[in-house]
């Protein structure tokens, strides 16, 4: 098996040796060192030589791992500004209140996490005291992605500085009463405090990278200079196993995002036990980040280890630290000095001699308490190195003890993530350890008290002075009083009102054409953010390349192969299009950053992200929930939508379910427009609601999901129907009747109402004609632009009824008086149109494309799923036959005629 740490063959190995004698001399020197001083000394000299070569600009492969020691030695640590003793007292109060909040909440069975913040307290406190810039700082301040399980510590700090009170803390995880605190960072539940929802693990690091990248995008495009903003993402070492956590590391390095810092709390534990029981997670992460091009700073050992490293004249200590697996380090945290002497120091004669110079107290101090992530000076040194590093993002690997200061019952125990409370005696021991002035008399009936030094205490004044110097409270979310964006010219939206005549146009192309017109708008055009994951040509967006440009911080350093063509591939530093490559997750992270710029940066941006609908909600639905959680606004466009519109691509591309998933998200307004003019109406109304003047009771913090199809068909003119725009927005309107379609039904002809959405409307219209011409049935056709919005309106009507208010659902109002049964047709699963079934007074049935997709022609696929025009006719006749309005034999006759 190949050693992953060995030097791999390179192109240099293929070159002839110009001076074999010189090469032999170098090799002999290395052999001599190894023989005289040992292989570890030889390895040390080689590493130092490689570092010197890199410093001199000599191109060599980078070292992916360094020794298991601090990157910044003690002698090189800068002095920490401020009052360290004062900051220690502030941190002690925050530790106490975080644990008290969760313990008190445990009496109500709501849970909570104690151990995470206990390990990470100094990682946050050092930042809040010296680095994290608030919203009143230059630009937009810093963006903080807080580790979700550490939220009690953030609430505790907000309590200390007066932003929260005891009532808030007592309502941790109890939000129904309206004065509660959400379990984790959540802008929708606590919008003045939290900016970024992070507890769906892996999404925080991914979003942080694209947020830092979007900051550069805003600056380079001249929208707003946010070059002073820094993005900080606080992560757990276990969280880094999520694929999204490391999915965009190369992007961050490639675009030199030195406005980004990851702080990974390496307490060596995940939820059930060690992160890498038999290995070393810090070394693994170091290699991963270095290999991706990041600057890596390791902050592993506290100052108590300085004496041990001074005694290590042979390198035996450093070697042993690298050998010991993480689970054994965790075990040392819980064992006595005798065990550590035998197991750790006893493994090497040199370490045995070293241990003789160390007292038991010294050994326990080092192995139980002293970690780099628990010391303000070492954390400060790492953060300072990160913000001063240029040309690459930085990751800080800070080693801590999970459950630090919570007592022996918590520290490094495998179960501590699930441990929700401390006993009174454990709190008293913690109080004594932290030296807090909380008397025994304050523990009334076994309830642990909150602690506060007083609103005018030196601790609170110091905390508030530090935050004022850094630009105000943090974390904080600002709701800017932005002026509504002016509505674009009506001409763009009305472009399809006359229809396409004999020209075949897919609604995918209609949407792209609409956007082309909107980005030319003088007032709002520059605020559009087109996002596409390497499928722009599939969706007909290549014409936007030369006019808008593709964003690249490097600009265009090459001559594109298609430079002489009209629609050439143009990259630019101020490019408007975000063409992300094959990454739906990255594209969604882009969308989230752009859709929330109105709050993060006080700049309203209008993102639209267009993608294969099959690879949106199915693949990145978790991020779409994150988008709703973060109060994002914009347009998601599921192109080539429907089970049967892209059948040549096969099952994997056949979307019959995205509206089902979208319907579960309260922030998503889901539309399946049938015609081009409907798209214009929906987008216009979406711009009004999200960026203009929202109507009373309308929430602007929504996003739109539009499904558009790639099947070119003639687009009809917009009917002159009263209230048609309202019907399009609400989800249903009558497109035509048998009479208005010139089908001349008999006066007593049986009648049926056909409801269709998206591409299915075209088969429905064909069935309407067949029913009239072949079976003497009059059918009216309705366009159901949104089954989901119809259902939500009906649910609201039901809720109003329970409050004693009489309100008819819109779907019932629209269909009121419509003669005959209702047959709903969709290119999606039947449960999509069946969302409205219980509110339709008429007899109701539906057709849909349930099951797996397949590769074939559109006509064959529609026949396979039983949703083509002929199938609609048979289903309509069956409904009418059950009512006795057509003869029963007509159904069998139709099946045989159409070969069903």
For residue 7, the model assigns a pLDDT of 44
For residue 14, the model assigns a pLDDT of 46
CB of 135 closer than 8 Å to CB of 141 = yes
Q: Contacts from 377-380 at CB under 8 Å and sequence distance 24+? A: 377/77, 377/80, 377/84, 377/303, 378/70, 378/72, 378/77, 378/299, 378/302, 378/303, 379/122, 379/123, 379/126, 379/299, 380/77, 380/78, 380/80, 380/126, 380/130
For residue 513, the model assigns a pLDDT of 93
Q: Which residues contact 334 (CB under 8 A, 6 or more apart)?
A: 408, 411, 412, 413
For residue 756, the model assigns a pLDDT of 97
Q: How far does Cα 515 stand from its chain's mean position?
A: 25
For residue 13, the model assigns a pLDDT of 47
For residue 249, the model assigns a pLDDT of 97
Distances, alpha carbon 154 to alpha carbons 121, 378, 400, in Å: 9, 21, 18
d(CA 230, CA 211): 10
For residue 3, the model assigns a pLDDT of 43
Q: Are strands 703-707 and 668-671 parallel, antiparallel or unpaired?
A: parallel
Total Cβ atoms within 10 A of residue 365? 17
The residue assigned the tokens 């004669």 is 349
For residue 418, the model assigns a pLDDT of 57
**In terms of pLDDT, which residue wins out, 96 or 179?**
96
pLDDT tens digits along 134-144:
999 888 999 99
CA count, 13 A, side-chain hemisphere, 611 = 30
Task: Determine which helix (DSSP H) or strand (DSSP E) holds 810, and give its type and residue range.
Answer: helix 810-815
CB of 238 closer than 8 Å to CB of 270 = yes
pLDDT of 128 over the 60 cut: yes
For residues 233-261, give the mean pLDDT.
97
d(CA 438, CA 449): 8
Of 527, 542, 626, 502, nearest in space to 206 by CA: 626
As a three-state string, the secondary structure of 244-285 is HHHCCHHHHHHCCCCCEEEEEEECCECCCCECCCCCCHHHHH
Q: Which residues contact 413 (CB under 8 A, 6 or more apart)?
A: 334, 403, 419
d(CA 754, CA 764): 7
For 826: left if phi > 0, alpha if psi spans -120 to 50, otherwise beta; the answer is beta
d(CA 616, CA 593): 17
Of 54, 765, 884, 128, nearest in space to 466 by CA: 128
pLDDT of 109 over the 90 cut: no
CA count, 13 A, side-chain hemisphere, 822 = 25
pLDDT tens digits along 852-872:
988 889 999 999 999 999 999
Share of the chain above pLDDT 70, in %: 96
The sign of the torsion formed by the CA atoms of 444, 449, 452, 453 equals positive
d(CA 651, CA 864): 13
Of 385, 412, 426, 146, nearest in space to 277 by CA: 412
**In terms of pLDDT, which residue wins out, 371 or 41?**
371
pLDDT tens digits along 301-360:
999 999 999 999 888 999 999 999 999 999 998 899 999 999 999 999 999 999 999 999
pLDDT tens digits along 613-656:
888 898 999 999 999 999 999 999 999 899 998 877 777 788 99
Average pLDDT in the chain: 92
Total Cβ atoms within 10 A of residue 754? 26
Encode burial over 859-897: b for 16+ CB neighbours within 10 A, e otherwise.
eebbbbbbbbbbbbbbbbbbbbbeeebbeeebbeebbee
- Show the tokens assigned to 171: 């309502």
Composition of the chain by helix, strand, coil, percent to 5? 45, 10, 45
pLDDT of 409 over the 80 cut: no
pLDDT of 130 over the 90 cut: yes
For residue 411, the model assigns a pLDDT of 64
Beta bridge pairs of residue 846: 824
For residue 867, the model assigns a pLDDT of 96
- Show the tokens assigned to 216: 């550069």
For residue 538, the model assigns a pLDDT of 86
pLDDT tens digits along 416-435:
555 667 889 999 999 999 99
pLDDT of 58 over the 90 cut: no
For residue 61, the model assigns a pLDDT of 66
pLDDT of 287 over the 70 cut: yes
Q: Which residues contact 433 (CB under 8 A, 6 or more apart)?
A: 405
pLDDT tens digits along 752-811:
999 999 999 999 999 999 999 999 999 999 999 999 999 999 999 999 999 999 899 999
As a three-state string, the secondary structure of 589-624 is HHHHHHHCHHHHCCCCCEEEEEEEHHHCHHHHHHHH
The residue assigned the tokens 């002999």 is 28
For residue 849, the model assigns a pLDDT of 95
Q: Which burial class, exposed, middle or buried, applies to 503 when counting CB atoms under 10 A from its CB (0-12, 13-18, 19+)?
A: exposed
Total Cβ atoms within 10 A of residue 799? 11
Total Cβ atoms within 10 A of residue 204? 28
For residue 62, the model assigns a pLDDT of 67
**In terms of pLDDT, which residue wins out, 598 or 18?**
598
For residue 195, the model assigns a pLDDT of 97
pLDDT of 413 over the 60 cut: no
For residue 742, the model assigns a pLDDT of 92
Q: Are strands 778-783 and 733-736 parallel, antiparallel or unpaired?
A: antiparallel
d(CA 77, CA 384): 10
d(CA 795, CA 364): 62
**In terms of pLDDT, which residue wins out, 478 or 844?**
844
For residues 158-179, give the mean pLDDT.
92
pLDDT tens digits along 509-537:
999 999 999 999 999 999 999 999 988 88
């Amino acid at each position: 098996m190949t050693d992953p740490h060995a030097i791999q063959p390179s192109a240099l190995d293929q070159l002839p040796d110009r001076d074999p004698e010189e090469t032999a001399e170098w090799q002999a020197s290395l052999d001599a060192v190894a023989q005289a001083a040992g292989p570890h000394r030889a390895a040390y000299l080689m590493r130092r030589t490689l570092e010197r070569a890199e410093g001199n600009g000599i191109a060599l492969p980078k070292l992916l791992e360094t020794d298991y020691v601090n990157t910044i030695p003690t002698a090189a640590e800068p002095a920490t500004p401020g009052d360290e003793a004062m900051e220690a007292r502030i941190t002690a109060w925050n530790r106490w209140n975080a644990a008290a909040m969760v313990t008190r909440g445990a009496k109500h069975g709501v849970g909570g996490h104690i151990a995470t913040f206990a390990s990470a307290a100094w990682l946050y406190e050092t930042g809040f005291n010296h680095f994290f810039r608030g919203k009143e700082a230059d630009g937009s301040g810093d963006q903080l992605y807080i580790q979700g399980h550490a939220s009690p510590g953030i609430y505790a700090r907000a309590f200390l500085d007066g932003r929260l009170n005891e009532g808030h803390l007592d309502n941790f995880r109890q939000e129904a009463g309206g004065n509660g605190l959400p379990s984790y960072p959540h802008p929708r539940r606590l919008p003045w405090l939290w900016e970024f929802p992070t507890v769906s693990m892996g999404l925080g690091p991914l979003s942080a990278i694209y947020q830092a990248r979007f900051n550069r995008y805003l600056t380079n495009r001249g929208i707003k200079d946010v070059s002073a903003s820094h993005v900080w993402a606080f992560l757990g070492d276990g969280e880094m196993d999520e694929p999204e956590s490391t999915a965009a590391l190369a992007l961050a390095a490639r675009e030199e995002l030195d406005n980004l810092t990851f702080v990974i709390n390496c307490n060596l534990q995940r939820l059930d036990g060690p992160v890498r029981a038999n290995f070393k997670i810090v070394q693994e992460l170091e290699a991963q980040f270095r290999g991706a091009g990041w600057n890596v700073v390791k902050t592993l050992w506290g100052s108590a280890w300085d004496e041990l490293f001074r005694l290590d004249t042979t390198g035996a200590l450093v070697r042993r630290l690298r050998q010991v697996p993480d689970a054994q380090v965790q075990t040392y945290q819980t064992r006595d000095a005798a065990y550590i002497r035998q197991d750790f120091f006893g493994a090497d004669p040199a370490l045995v001699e070293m241990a003789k110079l160390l007292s038991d107290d010294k050994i326990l101090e080092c192995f139980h308490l002293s970690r780099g992530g628990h010391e303000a000076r070492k954390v400060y040194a790492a953060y300072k190195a990160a913000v001063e590093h240029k040309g690459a993002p930085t990751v800080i690997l800070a080693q801590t003890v999970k459950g630090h200061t919570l007592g022996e019952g918590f520290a490094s125990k495998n179960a501590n993530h699930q441990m929700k409370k401390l006993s009174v005696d454990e709190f008293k021991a913690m109080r004594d350890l932290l030296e807090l002035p909380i008397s025994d008399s304050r523990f009334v009936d076994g309830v642990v008290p909150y602690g506060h030094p007083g609103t005018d205490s030196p601790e609170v004044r110091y905390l508030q002075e530090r935050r004022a110097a850094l630009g105000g409270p943090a974390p904080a979310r600002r709701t800017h009083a932005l002026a509504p964006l002016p509505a674009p010219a009506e001409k763009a939206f009305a472009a399809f009102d006359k229809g396409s005549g004999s020209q075949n146009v897919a609604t995918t192309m209609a949407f792209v054409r609409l956007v082309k017109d909107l980005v030319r708008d003088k007032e709002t055009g520059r605020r559009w953010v087109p996002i596409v994951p390497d499928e722009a040509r599939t969706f007909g967006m290549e014409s936007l390349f030369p006019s808008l440009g593709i964003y690249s911080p490097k600009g265009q350093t090459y001559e594109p192969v298609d430079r002489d063509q009209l629609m050439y591939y143009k990259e630019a530093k101020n490019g408007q299009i975000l063409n992300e490559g094959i990454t739906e997750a990255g594209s969604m992270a882009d969308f989230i950053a752009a859709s929330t710029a109105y709050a993060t940066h006080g700049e309203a941006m209008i993102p639209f992200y267009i993608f294969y609908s099959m690879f949106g909600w199915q693949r990145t639905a978790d991020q779409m929930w994150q988008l709703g959680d973060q109060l994002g606004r914009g347009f998601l466009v599921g192109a080539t939508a429907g089970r049967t519109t892209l059948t040549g691509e096969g099952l994997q591309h056949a979307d019959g379910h995205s509206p089902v998933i979208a319907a579960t998200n309260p922030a998503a307004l889901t539309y399946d427009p049938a015609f081009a003019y409907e798209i214009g109406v929906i987008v216009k109304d979406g711009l009004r609601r999200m960026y203009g003047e929202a109507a009373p009771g309308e929430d602007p913090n929504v996003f739109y999901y539009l499904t558009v199809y790639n099947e070119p068909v003639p687009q009809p003119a917009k009917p002159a129907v009263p209230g048609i725009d309202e019907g399009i927005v609400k989800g249903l309107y009558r497109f035509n009747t048998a009479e208005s379609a010139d089908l001349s039904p008999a006066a007593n002809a049986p009648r049926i109402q056909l409801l269709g959405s998206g591409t299915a409307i075209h088969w429905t219209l064909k069935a309407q004609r067949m029913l009239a011409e072949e079976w003497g049935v009059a059918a009216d056709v309705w366009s159901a632009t949104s089954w989901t919005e119809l259902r939500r309106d009906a649910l609201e009507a039901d809720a109003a009824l329970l409050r004693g208010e009489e309100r008819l659902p819109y779907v019932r109002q629209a269909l009121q008086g419509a003669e005959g049964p209702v047959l709903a047709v969709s290119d999606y699963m039947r449960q999509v149109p069946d969302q409205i079934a219980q509110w339709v007074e008429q007899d109701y049935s539906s057709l849909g494309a349930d099951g797996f997709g397949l590769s074939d022609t559109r006509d064959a696929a529609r026949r396979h799923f039983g949703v083509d025009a002929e199938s609609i006719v048979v289903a309509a006749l069956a409904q009418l036959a059950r009512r006795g309005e057509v003869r029963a034999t007509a159904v069998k006759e139709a099946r045989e005629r159409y070969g069903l």
